[in-house]
Amino acid sequence: MLWVTLAWGACFVAIRWGLRDAPVLWFAGLRAGVAGVALLTMARWQHRPPIRGARSWSLVSLLGAVNATIAFAAMFAGVAGLATGTAAVLANAQPLLILLPAWWLYGEAISARIAVGLVVGFAGLLVVAVPGGGGSGAALSMLSATAITAGTLLARRLGALDLVVASGWHFLLGGTALFVWAAAVEGWPGIDWTPRFVAVLGFLSLVGTAAAYLAWFAESRRCPLGLLAAWTFLVPVAGVAFAAVLLNEAPDGWTAAGIALVLGSLWVVLHPRRDSSPARTATVPSGTGV
């Protein structure tokens, strides 16, 4: 999870750079499409089993619409309308959004201690968003976080489907939908294929999407979602740090205070008391690394 969170944090700087050379929706579609092609190429080379059955295809298509089409479109548009660090914070509210659905759908109980962590985390997000004026950029970043949360919950239902194949197809289908959307809204893609853009697209697609989401989906199958999602609190911290160093977007006092609250909520969620409280009822298979 450490390398996944660092990769996702760096993605926000990469998106900012790439938006200099490509429109929002076309850029988001390329990220998903290239990742899908890479995963399906690997699946074919490894002779992995294909997807069969209408139910399986429906699930993968829904995952693509939520986790790729909606999430990436909202994420890229949010970065375009906000400071990079702020967008990174708001687009990674997943730990705060996933605990109640995880309890309702999968019986992963929430203790009073984790409920406090939720309140602290939401307060941190508000501290980051409100002084910046909120607006459409903040709303889009929160929409992205909601869509990614829904995608994580859906990934739990992939069942016996091969994870590489399902991940590849959901990105390819989601990316195709983004291309159609981009053609209708943005017209012919005015992309400047500079070396910078090619490098950014390669990192976003192969490291920040294909590899990182494959690892994320694999862990989501076997770990309690609340504890797993809490690691993504480190994504905005990395995003703010990368933005400060690479884009000279130094966080102001409000952003720093919000990040402190978010990190406090991370500590609360990841360090429950070692007792028989309900939060400890979800078992983690040995060898998961969490």
Digitized pLDDT (tens) for each residue of the chain, 290 residues in all: 889 989 988 988 899 899 999 999 999 999 999 999 999 999 999 999 999 999 999 999 999 999 999 999 988 987 776 655 565 666 566 766 776 676 666 666 667 777 777 778 777 767 766 655 455 556 777 778 788 888 888 888 887 899 999 999 999 999 999 999 999 999 988 899 999 999 999 999 999 999 999 999 998 888 777 677 777 777 777 777 787 787 776 667 777 787 788 778 777 776 655 544 444 444 433 333 33
Check residue 278 and give its pLDDT. Answer: 44
Three-state secondary-structure class, residue 40: helix
Q: CA 192 to CA 24: how far, in whole Å?
A: 13
Sheet strands (E) in the chain: none
Which residues have C-beta within 8 Å of that of residue 132, sequence separation ≥ 6?
82, 83, 86, 138, 254
Taking CA atoms, 170 is separated from 93, 192, 214, 224, in Å, by 22, 27, 11, 23
Judge contact between 125 and 90, C-beta under 8 A.
yes
- The rounded radius of gyration (Å) of the Cα atoms in the chain is 18
Which residue carries 């609360």 as its tokens? 268
Check residue 195 and give its pLDDT. Answer: 95
Check residue 27 and give its pLDDT. Answer: 96
Judge contact between 121 and 171, C-beta under 8 A.
no
Check residue 289 and give its pLDDT. Answer: 37
Name the residue among 218, 210, 219, 215 with its Cα closest to residue 42. Answer: 210
Judge contact between 175 and 36, C-beta under 8 A.
yes
Helix or strand run (H / E) with residue 192: none
164 half-sphere exposure, CB direction, 13 A CA radius: 15
Name the residue among 89, 153, 150 with its Cα closest to residue 122. Answer: 89
Q: CA 165 to CA 51: how far, in whole Å?
A: 7
Q: Is the dihedral of CA 286, 287, 288, 290 positive or negative?
A: positive
Check residue 150 and give its pLDDT. Answer: 86
To 5 degrees, how large is the angle CA 242–CA 218–CA 97? Answer: 60
Check residue 92 and give its pLDDT. Answer: 63
Check residue 283 and give its pLDDT. Answer: 42
